[in-house]
Amino acid sequence: MSVQSAVRRLTAPDIRAKKGGEPIVSLTAYHAHTARLIDPHVDFMLVGDSLGMVMHGMETTVPVTVDMMILQGQAVMRGSARALVVVDLPFGSYEGSPQQAFATAARVLKESGAGAVKLEGGRRMAETVRFLADRGVPVMGHVGLTPQAINTLGSFKALGRDEASAALILDDARSIADAGAFSIVLEAISEPLARQITQEVAPPTIAIGGSPACDGQILVLEDMLGLSDRVPRFVKKFAEIGPAIGAAVEAYASEVRARSFPGPEHVYAPKKG
């Protein structure tokens, strides 16, 4: 009789405890099968509202709904066993009040099974972060470029590259750190600013277009695999899977049209006798 030891899933406190230690590795995940592939290699997976753009062809993350986030969160939980799963709270589901944010976060955690939520915003969201943290909801913060605010920002561009805007982002990070965020995503900000924030806040920082000095890094999985046509400057393509998929489908189509697929090894013979 074989005995299998249970795999313990990482938690928000585990991630927080990695501050200043070995860099935290993370990627986005939206499906059970990709979650299964990356689970052995990452510390946490983010079910990001970027799924609206990556999976559904939306121009921004704004139209994404809570139901969409829960559905994909459930898939990622089913496909993983080790990594912490963090789910984004989508636009319009938490900004109204701390009470609204708690109701949404509680539903997301209950229905998806995930271990934490992420929300965007600095000083303006500090009260909400504290409200959630005080009520047992692990919150990952997100400052710098906040894609849900694209209609206000006007475009996806790097921020904090001048003294005035850098000071505002630093204040944002300090505010949500003091409010109880267990980690903070820093997106598309100047390298010196990301380095400074990492040095000055207690929670670990997770960079996406930040600095190698940050406590961890995150990328959109489809971007780093070469499945996206256009990617930001901060993306390194670690593979070019897109062309490989195209070539495989082309070969399949060719064999189907030539009637060389399926071959004898792919079909079922009648039973003898």
Helices (H) and strands (E) in the chain, counts: 11, 8
Query: What secondary structure letter does DSSP report for 148?
Result: G
Q: Report the catalytic residues.
A: 187
Distances in Å between the Cα of 142 and the Cα atoms of 73, 106, 172, 271 are: 19, 19, 9, 61
Name which of 47, 69, 62 is nearest 153 in CA terms.
Answer: 62
HSE of 27, CA atoms in CB hemisphere, 13 A: 23
Cα–Cα dist 128/122, whole Å: 10
Strand partners, 216: 24, 206
Does 165 appear as a known binding residue?
no
HSE of 153, CA atoms in CB hemisphere, 13 A: 17
Cα–Cα dist 27/47, whole Å: 9
Does 120 appear as a known binding residue?
yes
Does 240 appear as a known binding residue?
no
Does 50 appear as a known binding residue?
yes
Does 88 appear as a known binding residue?
yes
What residues are designated binding site for 3-methyl-2-oxobutanoate?
Answer: 49-50, 88, 118
What residues are designated binding site for Mg(2+)?
Answer: 49, 88, 120
What residues are designated binding site?
Answer: 49-50, 88, 118, 120
